[in-house]
């Protein structure tokens, strides 16, 4: 390894360590910056500093020359984010001279180099992908791909628009096993700004095979040859972007608001460029489509509860044309009502191959044998899930569920960050209620009877294997197992809250691999999950009851002491009325409960004391059914202030209610919580304290909510605690919490 000292514009010394990488066939170079954060690191061609450097003019940066060495400075904050999948790595590299073949792509247009990256292949090179995401300014952005020995490739961006935030350009590149050392150059083209800038000087091509650095390292050579842009790309500098423009569009769904059991009905879906009104006498919901691209077909899928698709008719349409001006595109799903009670139809709208939906429209109607003459308005809801470019490269497992009577069915879509989703389906043999009742009863039984942490861990591994065998298709298990190193930080996108997916065990019982090990974070697409959360002093509250007798917990007092160091204050006097008052008033950023919870056929409850009040038949408690009144459901609004972080460090309070919709997790999220963390089953007193301390410490260090949960799980597991998998988190996969005074 060689250390080459170079001086930056601030007079400090940067040590560039260049290490040969045989997997990169001699072309890869790893740059390590040691010292203060300079705006740009030293160029990888530091040994060739005699070559003229042109990036001062291209980047609008200052160019300083000290002792014959040219140094480039520029913005301190990186413009773009880059990620890779398939075991590939992507690293930001210092600016480098643009080779002539790249400048030749824009013969009469000034360009500005915004970012540069290099791709490093895995030990066993194979297919993969890379993604670059950058805020889209008024200028156009284009990505130039320089593969070793190839000609320059121009990649245009898909533009994603979000509420209240700048548009973001997302570039995606597929990789082959010989693409190690590929460079990605993000160029900005903005004639009105750069017109007065000095024209970029041209350089002679760098040598195709530069002299090796010490220890056999070599700089990455530029590709050979040049390619002129197509006529379409040649016009790029005169447009906002190379991607098709997004246009306003709306999706509406309608169906009868009341159905008789076993009656047939039609769910009508309409898509138009103008807002749509309700059809007569129907449940109706309408929602705009975000980031819809005209000319690209749409995909529609119907998910349902207590509704069955008429045999022989479709439950999806995969090639729905995008409407032209003044056109309404219509599709119909034919369904049969189930038994008396609520029935739910959700229409999911997607475009392209993404697992994320553009919009979802849900209709909840009533099934009854005696329909009223004047039926009341049915419940209808709709939400839009704008594509989030920050998620590019994040592995995602989407789970959709259909329930009819005792039968339930899952559809899974797995995307490993490469933009290529894989689809799977399963239909468990046992009814959902029977399966979950038996599963959690066996977990509780194992907790009580195991006799040791090792004994409980062994039983948990067996239950995790049985869960995976019963619910996950074999090919999905095989793909998750084969991509184990790629699914770190897996995001679970679903509204299904009852199944403990974290427990799904993919390995052998003797060497278990749980989905929870990946840092699995749940993401319910029917609610808003902000990625920036706050915990301000004076707005952090906790409730850690002091129990007596058999319910006594020795660690909750220490838990309260720790929370006070975060600036949190106790909810006084700690009864149901004070908790209800806080929830109704709002005004809190963090709510933490540490104590006993109960989840049974009567619903879910937070136990507030160990002794029943005089004349009361039950212990003082706060129920999830009360929460739906105190913290009511609100329409998702991505522009609103982020909701609070809610942590219920108590048993069995993160699962969906098996007797209704009054689960704490779903109720808090529907009411606007920005993140929710809870337990799926019993946990010990001491591990609960350790989890809280590790979780909040990780959050304060800047880790995401899901990373913090993973760190807390790992600590509990390393200390031999077998309840580490009980914790689950609902949050945006990249959500962080800012603690401020």
pLDDT tens figures, 194-207: 333 343 333 333 33
Asked if pLDDT for residue 191 goes beyond 80, the answer is no
Residues of the chain by 3-state class (helix, strand, coil), percent to 5: 20, 30, 45
Contact (CB, 8 A) for 70 and 48:
no
Which of 32-46, 551-565, 617-631 shows the lowest per-residue confidence on average (mean pLDDT)? 32-46
| DSSP H helices in 397-484 | 432-449, 453-471, 474-482
Burial of 5 (0-12, 13-18, 19+ CB in 10 A): exposed
Which of 152-156, 176-180, 479-483, 497-501 shows the lowest per-residue confidence on average (mean pLDDT)? 152-156
Which residues have CB under 8 Å from 518's CB, separation 6+?
Answer: 487, 488, 489, 490, 710
Residue from 348, 350, 355 nearest 396 by CA: 355
Indicate the pairing of strand 328-337 with strand 264-272: antiparallel
Express as a percent the part of the chain with pLDDT over 90: 33
Q: What is the DSSP string of 57-120?
A: HHHT--EEEETTEEEE---SS-S-EEEEETT-EEEE----PPPHHHHTTSTTS--EEEEEEEEE
Contact (CB, 8 A) for 35 and 9:
no
Quick one: pLDDT band at residue 123, thresholds 50, 70, 90? confident
Contact (CB, 8 A) for 89 and 138:
no
Token reading at 42 = 């030293």
Q: What is the pTM of this model?
A: 0.66
Asked if pLDDT for residue 231 goes beyond 60, the answer is no
Domains with residue ranges and CATH for the chain: 2-238 (no CATH), 250-387 (2.60.40.10), 433-518 (no CATH), 526-740 (3.40.50.1460)
Place of tokens 């409407």: 323
Token reading at 624 = 């999830």
Quick one: pLDDT band at residue 641, thresholds 50, 70, 90? confident
Which of 47-61, 196-210, 398-412, 709-723 shows the lowest per-residue confidence on average (mean pLDDT)? 47-61
568-593 per-position pLDDT tens digit: 999 999 999 999 999 999 999 999 99
φ/ψ (deg, to 5) at 521 = -120, 135
The neighbouring-strand residues paired with 505 are 514
C-alpha of 544 from chain center: 31
Dihedral angle sign, alpha carbons of residues 167, 173, 179, 185:
negative
Asked if pLDDT for residue 232 goes beyond 60, the answer is no
Asked if pLDDT for residue 430 goes beyond 80, the answer is yes
- Cα(604)–Cα(76) distance, integer angstroms: 50
Residues in the chain: 741
| pLDDT score at 42 | 26
Which residues have CB under 8 Å from 329's CB, separation 6+?
Answer: 270, 271, 272, 320, 321, 322, 323
Quick one: pLDDT band at residue 738, thresholds 50, 70, 90? very high
Contact (CB, 8 A) for 242 and 139:
no
Which of 156-160, 215-219, 704-708 shows the lowest per-residue confidence on average (mean pLDDT)? 215-219
Contact (CB, 8 A) for 408 and 432:
yes
Express as a percent the part of the chain with pLDDT over 70: 73
653-712 per-position pLDDT tens digit: 655 443 333 378 888 998 999 999 998 888 888 888 989 999 999 999 999 999 999 999
256-271 per-position pLDDT tens digit: 989 999 999 999 999 9
């Amino acid at each position: 390894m060689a250390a080459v000292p170079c001086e930056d514009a601030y007079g400090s010394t940067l040590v560039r360590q260049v290490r040969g990488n045989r997997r990169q066939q001699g072309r890869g170079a790893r740059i390590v910056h040691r010292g203060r954060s300079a705006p740009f690191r030293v160029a990888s061609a530091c040994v060739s500093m005699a070559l003229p450097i042109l990036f001062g003019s291209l980047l609008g940066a200052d160019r300083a020359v000290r002792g014959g060495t040219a140094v480039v400075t520029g913005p301190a904050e990186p413009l773009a984010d880059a990620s890779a999948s398939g075991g590939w790595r992507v690293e930001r590299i210092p600016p480098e001279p643009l080779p002539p073949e790249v400048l030749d792509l824009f013969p009469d247009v000034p360009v500005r180099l915004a970012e540069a990256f290099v791709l490093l292949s895995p030990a066993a090179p194979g297919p993969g992908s890379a993604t670059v995401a950058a805020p889209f300014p008024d200028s156009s952005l284009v990505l130039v791909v320089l593969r070793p020995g190839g000609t320059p490739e121009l990649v245009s961006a898909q533009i994603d628009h979000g509420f209240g935030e700048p548009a973001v350009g997302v570039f995606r590149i597929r990789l082959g096993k010989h693409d190690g050392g590929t460079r990605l150059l993000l160029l900005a083209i903005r004639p009105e700004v750069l017109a007065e800038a000095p024209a970029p000087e041209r350089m002679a091509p760098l040598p195709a095979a530069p002299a090796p650095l010490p220890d056999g390292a070599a700089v990455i050579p530029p590709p050979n040859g040049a390619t002129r842009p197509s006529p379409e790309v040649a016009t790029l500098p005169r447009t906002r972007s190379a991607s098709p423009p997004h246009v306003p569009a709306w999706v509406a769904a309608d169906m009868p608001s009341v159905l008789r059991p076993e009656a047939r009905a039609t769910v009508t879906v309409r898509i138009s460029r103008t807002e749509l009104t309700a059809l007569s006498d129907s449940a109706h919901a309408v929602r705009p489509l975000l980031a819809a691209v005209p000319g690209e077909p749409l995909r529609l899928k119907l998910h349902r509860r207590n509704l069955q698709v008429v045999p022989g008719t479709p439950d999806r349409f995969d090639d729905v044309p995008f409407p032209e001006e003044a056109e309404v595109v219509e599709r119909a799903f034919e369904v049969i009502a189930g038994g008396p009670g609520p029935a739910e139809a959700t229409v999911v709208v997607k475009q392209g191959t993404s697992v994320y939906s553009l919009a979802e429209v849900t209709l909840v109607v009533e099934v009854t044998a005696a329909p009223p003459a004047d039926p009341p308005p049915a419940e209808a809801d709709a939400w839009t899930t704008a594509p989030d470019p920050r998620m590019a490269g994040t592995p995602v497992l989407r789970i959709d569920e259909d329930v009819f009577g005792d039968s339930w069915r899952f559809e899974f879509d797995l995307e490993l960050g490469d933009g290529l989703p894989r689809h799977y389906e399963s239909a468990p043999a046992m009814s959902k209620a029977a399966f979950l009742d038996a599963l959690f009863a066996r977990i509780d039984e194992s907790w009580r009877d195991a006799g040791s942490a090792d004994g409980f861990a062994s039983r948990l591994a067996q239950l995790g294997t049985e869960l995976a065998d019963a619910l996950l298709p074999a090919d999905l298990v095989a793909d998750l197992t084969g991509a184990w190193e790629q699914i770190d930080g897996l995001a679970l996108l679903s509204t299904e809250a009852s199944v403990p997916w974290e427990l799904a065990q993919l390995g052998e019982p003797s060497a278990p691999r749980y989905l929870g090990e990946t840092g699995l974070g749940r993401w319910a697409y029917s609610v808003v999950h902000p990625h920036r959360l706050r915990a301000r002093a004076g707005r952090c509250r906790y409730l850690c009851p002091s129990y007596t007798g058999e319910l006594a917990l020795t660690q909750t007092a220490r838990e309260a002491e720790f929370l006070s160091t975060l600036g949190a204050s106790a909810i006084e006097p700690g009864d149901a009325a004070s908790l209800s008052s806080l929830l109704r008033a709002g005004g809190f950023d963090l709510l933490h409960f540490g104590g006993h919870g109960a989840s049974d056929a009567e619903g879910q409850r937070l136990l507030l004391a160990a002794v029943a009040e005089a004349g009361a038949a039950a212990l003082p408690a706060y129920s999830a059914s009360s929460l739906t009144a105190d913290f009511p459901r609100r329409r998702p609004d991505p522009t609103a202030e982020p909701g609070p972080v809610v942590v219920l460090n108590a048993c069995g309070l993160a699962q969906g209610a098996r007797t209704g919709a009054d689960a704490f997790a779903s109720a808090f999220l529907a009411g606007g919580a920005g993140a929710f963390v809870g337990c799926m089953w019993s946990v010990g007193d001491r591990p609960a304290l350790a989890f809280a301390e590790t979780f909040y410490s990780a959050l304060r260090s800047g880790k995401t909510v899901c990373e913090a949960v993973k760190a807390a799980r790992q600590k509990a597991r390393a200390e031999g605690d077998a309840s580490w998998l009980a914790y689950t988190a609902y949050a945006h996969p990249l959500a962080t919490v800012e603690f401020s005074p």
